[in-house]
Amino acid sequence: QVQLAESGGGSVQAGGSLRLSCAASGVTYSRYCMGWLRQAPGQEREGVAFIDRDGSPSYVDSVKGRFTISLDKAKNTLFLQMDNLKPEDTAMYFCAADTVCRGGANFYPYNYWGQGTQVTVSS
């Protein structure tokens, strides 16, 4: 049974940083890819970052150079380091996992999702 739990969200001013964490259980990293996605109020859920089974990362254009996805297998934790945050990054952020890995950093209907953590960036 895969379980994902995000933490680390909060409120920051534009230009600030946050690091999101996703505690994962039941995930075999050789079989699963994982991603971070977000959903702003009134908007569709969108992909943000993705890490493939071989550890290779990818990002959507809007966060390239600002966000970094990483996986600490020893701690069973997926991270998203977010730097130079902008008001348009305000959203609920979700981590997700699946054994079917398509779409890269773009939105994908992953099989497993966490409950989300809120990020609010003020100007």
From CA 70, how far away is CA 87, in angstroms rounded? 23
Confidence of residue 83 (pLDDT cuts 50, 70, 90): very high
From CA 42, how far away is CA 50, in angstroms rounded? 23
Tens digit of each residue's pLDDT (9 = 90 or more) over 6-16: 999 999 999 99
% of the chain exceeding 70 in pLDDT: 100
Q: What average pLDDT does the chain have? A: 96
SS3 41: coil
For residue 95 the two structure tokens come to: 């981590």
**DSSP H or E stretch at residue 90:** none
Tens digit of each residue's pLDDT (9 = 90 or more) over 67-82: 999 999 999 999 999 9
Report the pLDDT averaged over residues 38-56.
95
Tokens 């089974």: give the residue: 53
Taking alpha carbons only, the member of 120, 100, 123, 101 closest to residue 18 is 120
